[in-house]
Amino acid sequence: MGTVNTSDFRKGLKVQIDGNPYIMIECNFVKPGKGQALYKCKLRNLTKGTVLDRTYKSGDTLDTADIEEIDVQYIYRAGDAFVFMEVTSSDQYEVSSEIVGEAWKYIKEEMFCKMLLHNNNPIEVTPPNHVVLQVEYTEPCVRGNTATNLTKPAKVDTGAEILVPNFVEVNEYIRVDTRTGEYIERVK
């Protein structure tokens, strides 16, 4: 494990504080009129999601986190856990629903995702930015309401509910942005 100096602080840097992995989500350089330069940082805990505000003096160091990003394929769900397989080594990871979080709404069997590992333990699963899902159930469109921007809930094949425009029907495929959970377009 290496160290990183304050001069190398930047957004997206992964560091370790008290044995926990953090990602730097904000870093501002402050040079007061007299005295040492300061770095005001916001750090998000990668395992718990909590945010820390820390101030470091010029010359301080932090340990780099042992974080690895790997490509995985979602295989199946086993009760409260999701099973993923690493693409290159075929190693399997059983990931709890707490770690998967809201990503469950967008992942389907055989889908490729990214996984963050801290000391070879999964801490985050990220689905592709856009996924195609099939609408399993939605209310029928009311005639005459197709020209306005009305939305309605639709249940998709992953079990999630997504707001879609009024013209979307059952068994149609839709593209969804996994970062926001919003409908993008119909897919033929």
Q: Given a cut of 80, is residue 62 above it in pLDDT?
A: yes
Q: Which domain holds residue 180?
A: 130-187
The CA distance from 115 to 86, in Å, is: 9
> Within this chain, do residues 9 and 59 fall inside the same structural domain, yes or no?
yes
- Shared domain for 175 and 135, answered yes or no, is yes
HEC letters along the chain = CCEEEHHHCCCCCEEEECCEEEEEEEEEEECCCCCCCEEEEEEEECCCCCEEEEEEECCCEEEECCEEEEEEEEEEEECCEEEEEECCCCCEEEEEHHHHHHHHHCCCCCCEEEEEEECCEEEEEECCCEEEEEEEEECCCCCCCCCCCCEEEEEECCCCEEEEECCCCCCCEEEEECCCCEEEEEEC
- 147 band by pLDDT with thresholds 50, 70 and 90: low
Contact 130, 120 (CB under 8 A): no
Burial of 45 (0-12, 13-18, 19+ CB in 10 A): middle
> Does residue 78 sit in the same domain as residue 115?
yes
Q: Are residues 49 and 25 part of one domain?
A: yes
Instruction: Answer yes or no: do 58 and 11 share one domain.
Output: yes
Residues 136 and 181 in one domain: yes
Q: Which of 187, 149, 188 is nearest to 167 (CA)?
A: 149
Residues 86 and 49 in one domain: no
pLDDT of residue 101: 86
Query: Does pLDDT of 64 surpass 80?
Result: yes
- Mark whether 181 and 164 lie in a shared domain: yes
Report the number of distinct structural domains present in the chain.
3
CATH number at residue 168: 2.40.50.140
Interval 31-48: pLDDT, tens: 888 888 899 999 999 888
Quick one: 149 and 179 in the same domain? yes
b/e burial code for range 67-87 (CB count within 10 A of at least 16 → b): beebebebeeeeeeebebeee
Residue 148 shares a structural domain with residue 180: yes
* Chosen domain end from 126, 145, 174: 126
Q: Are residues 60 and 102 in the same domain?
A: no
37: domain CATH number is 2.30.30.30
User: Per residue in 87-138, pLDDT tens?
Assistant: 999 899 999 988 888 899 999 999 999 998 988 889 889 999 999 999 999 9
- End residue of a domain, out of 126, 145, 163: 126
Last residue of a domain, one of 87, 109, 126: 126
